[in-house]
A and B are shown apart, each in its own frame.
Chain A
C-alpha cells in the first residue's frame, strides 16, 4: 500500500470542504469538472472525488484517511466501496491519505480513534462510491442510448441486457458526466460484500515480510538516530560526554536536545552501539519525586467530602444511603498503563527550506503536522505527512512526540533522519492511561437497590490534555493548540458529562439505580496521560460492573437477574445480556473449582457483555474461557469484529491481571516486556464470540470489547473465593488482599 501523492493537485480543487459528505458528493464546481475531464483524457482515470478513482485497468483506487492499526479499517473501507461501486473486493487498492485539510473528517481532525472510523464513513464513503458508480453507468447509458435505470453495475462492468462495458473502458467518458447530487445507496438486501466478506485484504503482506511499517521506511540520503531519554520524564541533559562515541565509525553527530540525547549515524546499529560510549548528566526532570504508592494514598484521601464536581444528580443519594437497611461500597483503583505497541515509536523526517516531510506510523496526520510544525517553528501547512502501516496503535500513535524529536534531529544534521525509539524509551515516555481511584457507595432497602453515590478521582485527561498539549506544542499559536486539543478530546470521549474521561461509562450508564449522585475530582501531575484503548471506559467498566456485582450479592440476587432488573426493559442491553446468558449456559452451574462472573458495558455506541470462567492455581488466576456477545450494529466484516473482540479481551486481560506502570522517585519502574508483561499463548483463554444480528448502522468495534473483561474476571474470582478485589492489576491485589 502506498500513498497517492499525485492526487494532491486534484485534492484541493475537488474538495467540497472539511466534511467527508461534501468531499464525497461535491466537486460540482465547473473548474473541477474541467480538471476531471483533462485528467481522464491524459491518464484514463476517473477521479470521481477525493476518495475514489477508477483506473483504466478497471481497478479502484481508494484513499483511506484513517490509520490501519490492526483494526481492519482498510478491509472495512474497501468492502464498503467495492460493494457499493460494484467490483470484487480484490479490485480495490488502498492508498493512505497524507495530511490534507479536506480530509479532516473527525472533529476537524484527521485522526483514528474513539472507534469511530466505520461509524463515520458508513454513509459518506458509500455515497462517494455510489457517485462514481452512477457516473460510470451514466457514461454507458449514453453510449448505448438507453435510460440509466435499465443499466446496472456488476463485477466491474456496466450491463444492459447483453451489452457489457468494463469500468476501465468507461472512465474517460464517465469523467464528463455530472457528479450526482444525491447518489442512490444500495439497500441492505442488495449488499453482496458488506456483512459477508470473511477475509482481510492486508493479510498476505503481513505474512510474507513485505508489509511496510514506519520502522521499515527508507528514503534517499537517510541517516539513523538512536535516542537516549533521561531517567525521569522530561529530564534535560546537563552535560554530554561523547568524544569516544563520535569517533566510532559511521557516527555523524551526538546532539543534546531538550528532551534527551540523539546519536546520529549512517546505520541504526552504529548509533545504537555508540550509545555505550556516551556519558550524560541530567536535570531533575518534570516529575521528580513522583511516587505512585504515595499517589495512591493521596487519591484515596479525596473521598468526595471535599471539592468534587457533581456531574449527575438524580433524586437524593445521601438520603437513600441514610435510609438504607444495607449499604455497601469501597474504593476501586486502577494504575497508569502503557500502550506497549509491538512496533516501538518511530518516525522519519526530512527538513529543508521551512518545510518538513514526515513518514510515520501515526493515528493522526493532523497532530503530526502540529507537533512537527511546533518543533521546527514552521507552519502546519508546510508539513507533509506520509502515513505508513502501524504496528499497533491503541491511542499511543495519536501523539506525535517522536515525530517532533525526529524533526529536530533532521533540522540539526540537515539530512533525512529515521528515529527509532528503544522499547525502554517507548515504555518510559508513553502518554499513559491515567491512574484512578473511584469511591462507590450503594444503598439497599428491603432487598431492593435504592441509590448509589460515586466519586471518581483521577489524573484528568481532559484537564491535563490542555496543559500537556500546550507544553508539547508551546510554539504553536494558542488557537491552533486549542483546536487540536479540543478536537482530540472530543473525538476520544463518548460522554459529555463533567470531567468526561473520569466519568464516561458511569455518567451514561444505562442502569436505573434510583437516587444517584456522580462527582469527579482531578489530580494533576506532569506525567503525560492520554488515550489508551477505550480510554475512561477501561476503568469505569471495572468500577460499575464490580459495583453491580456487589449490589447483587447484597440483594442476594443472581448477578444476571439483578442486571436485567436494573437495565431498561427491551433494550439493546437486555438483548445482549439474554444472548450471553444463553451462550454461556448461565442457568447451569459451573464445574467444581470454576468461578464464573459476568460483566457488560456500553461504549462507542456498542453494547458488549462477557462471562468469564476461571480457576486459581497457586495464587495465579487462570482464565479458561470467555464468552462474549456484542451488538455493534451492522457488522461490515464479521470475522474482523470477532478478531477485535478477541484482541480487546486479551489486551484487557493483560491489563486486568498483571500490568501497571509505577513510579518510584519520578522513575518509571517498567522498561520492557519482562516487567510490563503481555498475556502469552499458554495463558490465553478460549474465546467464544457471538455478534448479534442488527440492521442498525455500524457502531464502534475496536474498543468496546475491552471494558467488560476486567470486571468479569474480578466477579468470577469473587464467585469462586468470596474475595472482592477492587484494585487493578488483580494479581497484585490478590497478593496484597487483606493488607489495605
Chain B
C-alpha cells in the first residue's frame, strides 16, 4: 500500500486495517508521532491528512492511501522550524515533551483556520489533546505567540 508522507511516497507492507500510527512509526520510520492511548483519547498521535488533524492510532492505513499525510517531522523545512514549533521553543512549552507533537499538529490546523484565535477558540481546538505534565497554560499563551510569528512570516505549504 502506498502512503504519501511529508511529500515522499512509501510502499508499506501493512494490511489496510493497520492503524496509520504504527505504519508511520515502524514502516516509514518516523517516530515523532507518538502512541499514548490507542483509542483516540489523548491526541499524542495527531497527524494531518489532507490538511485535517487525524488521530493516527485509529485511522486505518487503507483510508489514507494517496492522501497527503504530514507528521511533526514534516513541519521542519531545511532544519528551520515551523513558526508554531518556534513559538513552542521560545515559550519553553515542553516538559517531558511526549504530547507535544500532537499538540503542535493540532495548533497548526487551528491557526490555519483561525489566524487570530481567541482563548475560547484555542480551548475548543486543543481540549482533546491531553498533557500529563500540565503544559496547558503555556500552550494557550504560545498559540497566540505562534499567531504573531505566522502573521509575520507564513511557512511554505508541504503537499
Distance A207 CA – B73 CA, assembled complex (angstroms): 9
CB of B34 within 8 A of CB of A268, answer no
Q: With both chains docked as a complex, state the minimum distance between the C-beta of A154 and any C-beta of chain B, in angstroms.
A: 26
Q: Could you tell me if B94 and A650 are in contact, using CB atoms closer than 8 angstroms? A: no
Known A-B contacts: A71-B95, A269-B26, A686-B137. Give 15 more (CB < 8 A): A198-B92, A207-B72, A207-B97, A207-B100, A208-B72, A209-B71, A209-B72, A269-B23, A341-B96, A343-B96, A640-B92, A646-B138, A647-B134, A673-B39, A678-B130
Assess A207 versus B85: contact at CB under 8 Å? Given A272-B22, A342-B130, A647-B134.
yes
- If A343-B34, A389-B97, A681-B140 touch, does A207 touch B130 (CB 8 Å cutoff)? no
Contact call B81/A204, Cβ cutoff below 8 A: yes
Which candidate, A79-87, A211-219, A474-482, A717-725, is the interface stretch facing chain B? A211-219
Q: Most chain-B Cβ atoms within 10 A of its Cβ — which of A200, A216, A342?
A: A342
- Nearest B residue to A266 by beta-carbon distance? B26
The verdict on B101 contacting chain A, using a C-beta distance below 8 Å, is yes
Instruction: Please indicate the chain A residues that have their CB under 8 angstroms from the CB of B30 in the complex.
Output: 209
Whether A672 pairs with B137 at a CB distance below 8 angstroms is no
Among A200, A344, A648, A680, the residue within 8 A (CB) of B92 is A200
B residues engaging A (CB < 8 A)? 14-15, 17-19, 22-23, 25-27, 30-39, 41-42, 44, 71-73, 75-76, 81, 85, 88-89, 92-101, 104, 122-124, 126-140
Between-chain CB contacts (< 8 Å), 16 pairs: A203-B92, A207-B97, A208-B73, A209-B72, A209-B101, A211-B97, A212-B31, A342-B44, A392-B96, A394-B132, A649-B134, A673-B130, A678-B131, A681-B122, A682-B123, A682-B127
**Residue in contact with B37 in the complex, picked from A68, A268, A673, CB distance below 8 Å:** A673
Once the chains are docked, how many angstroms separate the CA of A640 from the CA of B104?
20
What are the residues of chain A within 8 A of B130 when measuring CB–CB?
Answer: 342, 673, 678, 680
Distance from A222 Cβ to chain B, minimum over Cβ atoms (Å): 11
Query: Complex formed: what's the CA distance from A679 to B38 in Å?
Result: 19
Say whether A651 faces chain B, with CB atoms less than 8 Å apart: yes
For the complex, give the distance between the alpha carbons of A687 and B140 in Å. Answer: 12
Q: A195-231, CB under 8 A of B: which get 1 and which 0?
A: 0001110111111111111011000000010000000
Residues of chain A contacted by B122 (CB below 8 angstroms): 681
For B120, the closest partner residue in chain A by CB is: A682
Q: Does A736 contact B (CB under 8 A)?
A: no
Q: Is the CB of B35 within 8 A of A420?
A: yes
Which residues in A have their C-beta under 8 angstroms from that of B88? 203, 207
B158 CB to closest chain A CB (Å) equals 14
Count of interface residues, chain A, beta-carbon cutoff 8 Å: 63
Given A208-B73, A208-B85, A673-B130, answer yes or no on A200-B137 (Cβ-Cβ < 8 Å): no
A343 in contact with B89 given A392-B96, A687-B137 (CB within 8 Å): no
User: A623 an interface residue at 8 Å Cβ cutoff?
Assistant: no
Check A681 against B37 for contact (C-beta < 8 Å).
Answer: no
Q: Does A164 contact B (CB under 8 A)?
A: no
Question: In chain A between 456 and 496, which residues have their CB closer than 8 angstroms to a CB of chain B?
Answer: none
Contact between A391 and B34, CB atoms less than 8 A apart: yes
**At the interface, yes or no: A267 with Cβ under 8 Å from chain B?**
yes
A190 interfacial by beta-carbon distance below 8 Å: no
A678 CB contacts on chain B under 8 angstroms: 130-132
**When chains A and B are docked, how far (Å) is the Cα of A71 from the Cα of B96?**
7
In the complex, what distance in Å separates the CA atom of A404 from the CA atom of B132? 25
Select from chain A the residue with minimum beta-carbon distance to B29: A218
Known A199-B92, A208-B72, A391-B96: A650·B134 in contact at CB below 8 Å: yes
Interface readout for A256-272 with B: 1 if CB under 8 Å, 0 if not?
Answer: 00000000000111001
Residue of A72, A209, A649 touching B73 (CB-CB under 8 A): A209
Distance, CA A650 to CA B95, complexed state (A): 13
- Per the bound structure, the CA–CA distance linking A33 and B98 in Å amounts to 42
A342-B44, A344-B36, A687-B137 known; A392 and B19 CB under 8 Å?
no
Measured in the bound complex, the distance between the Cα atoms of B92 and A202 in whole Å is 9
Contact in complex: A673, B42 (CB < 8 Å):
yes
- CA A242 to CA B134, docked complex, whole Å: 41
Given contacts A423-B38, A672-B41, A681-B127, contact A651 B19 (CB under 8 A): no
Binary CB contact string for chain A from 266 to 298 against chain B (1 if under 8 A, 0 otherwise) = 011100110000000000000000000000000
Taken together as a complex, chains A and B put the C-alpha atoms of A21 and B116 apart, in Å, by: 53
